[in-house]
Every structure is written in structure tokens, then in C-alpha cells.
Amino acid sequence: MKEILVLAEHRQGQWRDITFEMLSKARQLAESFGSEVHAVVLGKGVANSTEALRPMAHRVLLVEDERLEAFNSETYQTVLAQLITERKPLLTLIGHSTLGMDLAPNLAVQLKMPLATDCIGVDGKDGSFVLTRQIYGGKINSTVLFNKPGPYLVTLRAGAFPVLQKDSLQGDIISLPSPLTDGNLAKRFLGYVEAALGDVDITQADILVSVGRGIKGPENLPLVKEFAEAIGGTLSCSRPVVDKKWLPKSCQVGTSGKTVKPKVYIAVGISGAFQHIAGMKGAETVIAINRDPKAPIFGVAHYGIVGDLFKIIPVLKEKAKELRQK
């Protein structure tokens, strides 16, 4: 059957956004060559939650097993390998997430399936696919082709595909038996750890002033913090700032930090590496200040200022303070 399988991703009882992004893209692809979208759900006690997927899938394939309660690439790989071998879907989509990165390369080697990772574009062509991926830190797009026939495995970048309006497919939920047995796993899940909570929850802020490497050093943070305070905003940052320990991890916006959807996101000295952009694309208004006119951040910004932040922020701060006093 030439369906498109989509591995629905969930964690701690919540569907992750990428699930709906993938289902949307699969839907679009399936329409273009008259095929179907089958969502695959692995877990324990998730049956009720699959309702949320039904509008967007022709079928929901559910495998429930105690051993699938928390993600473990070994158990997931066993189940998926069997599903794919039996059903031979034209294409299987997995998120290029920490789950997908742990799972897809191994699954591909086991089943000898061609794999393209972290794709921002997928188009069908002559029974195969044309993928778009970014290289060189997002500065270049590459068009990638498969060298072999399918079934194909593709991982999709989070936030790269829009979520379509919920459809009305209302696919049936089909429970499939779990092929897992009580064997010893070489890798065992022990638990989760929440990252230490900082003072502020940046995901709740309406206005974020975010700093990147361009801030040059922690001694320049007070200046930006004052500006943030003057406009009633909260300070956040990109990954390099946390790696250098200038701000705590709780401030980090990006794929390995937090996803934020503020009303206004002011990116100060942030180049806009995709891992960062993924965490803030949902912001309603993005204003970017950067010295480099070619900085990728300008690609997602609604307003851009090419200039020296050390000249602009002090003035912004003063003017904001003046406004406050009025």
C-alpha cells in the first residue's frame, strides 16, 4: 500500500507540535498522488488522545504496550521496523527532533531505507521525492535526491511546515498487536529531569528582548536588561549566551531551550541560526537588530535594523524611559 506513515510524537501526555506539522505535510503529499496518511501512535494509555489525530489522518495505527510508555529508540525501532516491513509505505515521516535523531538513522540502516534528515521541503517526483535541506548553518539550501527506490524515510524539521486547518478525515483508529517481548534492552529509560527553573518563565512573557553572541560579553547585559525593563519586557537569549554561561538556561530560546510565542520579540545581536529561530518563529512581531545585513534573523523578522546594537540600545533605552515617565 502506498501510504504515507507519520510517527506521531508525544511526551509526558502531550502531543508535540511537530506531529501536526508532519500530518499536514503528509496530507498535502498524499493528495498529490492519491494516497493516504496513516498516523502511527506508540505508547501506553494513549488511546483516548488519538482522537486529536483523527481529523488529520485517514487511519490511526495504534500500538499500545507497557514497554512503549516512555520513548526508547530500541522498542520504537522494533515496532516500526515490523510495521514498515509489513506495510511497505511509500514514505515514513518522523520529526527531526531528539526522538527522531535517536531513531531514524538506526531504523534506516536496519531496513536499508534511504534516509534524508532535517528536511524543510519535500515534494513528490516520479515515485520518489525531492528534498530541501539546509547546510552551512542555514546559509545555503540544498536540493537532495534519493539514489535508490523506496520505501523512504524522511525526518522533518520542526516549525518548517505549516499546520493546515484541521481536516475532517476522521480516520479510524486501528489497534495493532505489539511485537515486543520481555527481552533485555541494552538501553533503559530511567526518568526525566526538568531543567532548573530560573526566576522568570520566558514562555509567559508578552515582550521578549533576546540577546545573542553579538552582545560580546556579560558586562553588556545590564544595558539590555535595563532596556527590557523600560519596555516591560523580559530578557531571553540564544544558545551561545547560555553555553558561555552569561545567562541561565531558563532564558534560552531555541530547540534545546524554550519555544516562545510573545507579542513582540526583539532579537539583539542574534544571527538567527535555525535552532534559535525554531524557538521564536511563532512570535507575532519580530524586530531584529544586527550588524550583518545578511544575518538569517532578518529572514524571519518583520522589522529589521542593520546597525550597531551598542549605539542603538542605549538610545532605545533612554527614549523608552522617557515614554514611561510621561
Partner 1 sequence: MNIIVCVKRVPETAEADLVIDKTGRDVIKSGLVFDLNEWDSYAIEEAIRLKEKQGGHVTVISMGGEEANESLRKCLAMGADDAVRLTDPAFEGADGYATAKVLAESIGKLPFDLILTGTQAEDDGYGQVGGALAELLGIPHATVVNQIEAEGNKLKVHRELEGGLEEILEIDLPALLTIQTGINEPRYVSIMGIRKVAKKEIKVFGAADLTLVANETGLSGSDTRIEKISFPPTTGAAKMIEGNPEEVALNVLNILKNKGGLA
Partner 2 sequence: MMERQESIAQKFDLYACYQCGKCTGGCPVTLRSKLNIRRLVLQGVLGKDLERLNERLELWDCTTCKTCTLRCPRDINPMNLIIGLRSTLVEQGHIPRTLIDALESVYKHGNPWGKPRNKRTDWIKELPDPLKVKDFSQGEQAEFLLFVGCTASFDPRIQEIAKALTYNLHRAGIDFGILGNEEQCCGNEIRSMGEIGLFEELMQTNIEKFETYGIKQILTSCPHGFNVLKNEYPQETFTVAHGTQLLARCLEEGKLSFEKEIKKVVTYHDPCFLGKQNGIFDEPRALLRAIPGLTLKELDRSRERSLCCEGGGGRMWVEASSDSGPRLAEIRVKDAIELGAEMLITACPLCVLTLEDAVKTSGHEEHIRVMDVMELVAIALGRPQPSSELNP
Is 268 within 8 Å of 241 (Cβ atoms)? no
- By CB under 8 A, name the one of 126, 165, 188, 204 that touches partner 1: 188
Which of 226, 225, 234 minimizes the C-alpha distance to 202? 234
Q: Does 248 bind partner 2 (CB under 8 A)?
A: no
Three-state secondary-structure class, residue 45: coil
- Total interface residues for partner 2 by CB under 8 A: 8
Select the binding partner of residue 98 from partner 2, partner 1, none (C-beta < 5 to 8 A, by kind). Answer: partner 1
- Nearest-angstrom CA–CA distance, 95 and 245: 29
Select the binding partner of residue 280 from partner 2, partner 1, none (C-beta < 5 to 8 A, by kind). Answer: none
Select the binding partner of residue 49 from partner 2, partner 1, none (C-beta < 5 to 8 A, by kind). Answer: none
Q: Which residues pair with 128 in a beta bridge?
A: 125
Q: How far is the CB of 200 from partner 1 (least distance, A)?
A: 13
- By CB under 8 A, name the one of 172, 308, 322, 323 that touches partner 2: 308
Site track for partner 1 across 27-66, x = CB under 8 A: ----------------------------------------
- Nearest-angstrom CA–CA distance, 169 and 186: 40
Ranges within 246-285 binding partner 1 (CB under 8 A) = 249-250, 252, 255-259, 262-264, 266, 271, 284-285
Q: Does 176 bind partner 2 (CB under 8 A)?
A: no
CA-CA distances (angstroms) from residue 199 to 234, 244, 248? 11, 19, 10
- By CB under 8 A, name the one of 13, 165, 177, 190 that touches partner 1: 190
Q: Could you tell me whether strands 91-95 and 152-156 are parallel, antiparallel, or unpaired per DSSP bridges?
A: parallel
Is 72 within 8 Å of 189 (Cβ atoms)? yes
Which of 93, 98, 158 minimizes the C-alpha distance to 122? 93
Residues near partner 2 (CB under 8 A): 217-219, 222-223, 244, 308, 314
